[in-house]
Amino acid sequence: MRDHWTTFRHQAEYLLFRSVVCVLQILSPRQNRKLARFGAWLLTDLLPRRMTRYNVAAENIRRMLGPDADAAGVHAIVRDMWEHLLRMVPEMLQASRKLSLTNCRECVVFRDRAKVLEAMTTGRPVMILGGHFGNWEMSMATFGMFGVPMGFIARAMDNPLLHEWFQRGREKYGHRLYLKKGNFDGITDLMGAGGNLGLLGDQDAGGRGVFVDFFGTPASTYKSIALMAMEYKALIVVGYCRRLPDDDIAGRWVRYEVGCEEVIDPCADYEDPIREITERYTQALERAIRRAPEQYFWVHRRWKSEPRRKVRAAERRAA
């Protein structure tokens, strides 16, 4: 009985999701922006802040802006962040219909493309590293469209129907999905064969991460990226995909800038390679985010974990 109920719930969720998708896919850029602005107003000015993680986002933004940050400026970035995220969802859903090789130059501009091409032609594996900034899904679609397939890592969704739908969409451009649990052998095979791996490297890594400065405050960051790059001699291409200003919002679609912020060679001479490689890609992500801070996912608790020395000092004071 329980299995039947679970199957029915999954089907109902999938039907509701696809109904919403159908509505979002027909929105024009102007309609999408108006709807997103209304939603951003609801999330920042009407709903209780505890429901929208407003205080988490505001605290993170103050870390970026520094001690002189004013409340009005912080609030504006929080509101603009929600507008960006709400606009991003329909844009992701419309990409498969609106983005193609024939109109790509109208929708996407490239910054420092030569760096990426050089990295891709060395014969070494490449790790395309980004963060929850701009439209990270759009950058993945762009690489696939230009014949640069990559593996990417994601968590299996609880609803298998939704998981299959998202997997089909992401693999449409030639990419391959690897689950966080259960596909490690596939990832190592990909890297060993000189393939490309797409990663997001800006989440809290817990107590086992290496602490490097992110906007001036130590943040726990995954060591696995540096370790994997060193093991397979993989180049790390730190990139981003940010929405450009709406010069012509009445046009067929929006415009994005896909850029390469830095290329990191793990085979260079380092005194402390894990820390230094992690610092370099974290600083590169920070530079990209500063260009359009309203397009970063500030509601993530990036500084949740604290260095052990601070935790121990707090424990001593409490004792």
Give residue-wise pLDDT tens across range 14-58: 999 999 999 999 998 889 999 999 999 999 999 999 999 999 999
Dihedrals phi, psi of 303, to nearest 5 degrees: -105, 30
Assign 73 to helix, strand or coil. helix
CB 222 within 8 A of CB 209: yes
Q: How far apart are CA 283 and CA 80, in angstroms?
A: 23
User: According to the model, what pLDDT value does residue 139 have?
Assistant: 83
Which pLDDT belongs to residue 311? 47
Please report how many Cα atoms fall inside a 13 Å half-sphere around the Cα of residue 52, on the Cβ side: 20
Both tokens of 212, joined, read 């490097």
pLDDT tens-place string over residues 221-234? 999 999 999 999 99
Is the pLDDT confidence value at 310 over 70?
Answer: no
Q: What pLDDT is stored for residue 314 in this prediction? A: 46
Distance CA 239, CA 221 (A): 17
User: What tokens appear for 30 in the block?
Assistant: 């102007």
Q: Is residue 317 predicted with pLDDT exceeding 80?
A: no
Average pLDDT on 110-137 reads 92
Find out whether 306 and 219 touch, Cβ atoms under 8 Å. Answer: no
pTM: 0.90
pLDDT attached to residue 309:
59
Q: What is the mean pLDDT of residues 211-216?
A: 96
What average pLDDT does this structure show over 5-10? 90
Closest C-alpha among 145, 35, 52 to residue 90: 35
Q: Can you give the pLDDT at residue 141? A: 81
Q: Average per-residue pLDDT in the chain?
A: 89
131-151: average pLDDT: 86
Judged on CB neighbours under 10 Å (0-12, 13-18, 19+), 237 is buried
pLDDT, mean of residues 259-279: 96
Comparing 103-117, 261-275, 305-319, the range with the smallest average pLDDT is 305-319
Confidence bin at 316 (pLDDT 50/70/90): very low
Percentage of residues in the chain having pLDDT higher than 70: 93
Coil/strand/helix, residue 256: strand
pLDDT of residue 1: 59
Q: Rounded to whole angstroms, how far apart are CA atoms 55 and 64? A: 14
**Looking at the predicted structure, is the pLDDT value of residue 138 above 90?**
no
Q: How far apart are CA 317 and CA 312, in angstroms?
A: 9
Identify the three-state secondary structure at position 27.
Answer: coil
For 92, the token pair is 């992701």
Q: What is the pLDDT of residues 66-93, one digit of tens each?
A: 989 999 999 999 999 999 999 999 998 8
CB hemisphere CA count around 237 (13 angstroms): 28
pLDDT at 130 over 70: yes
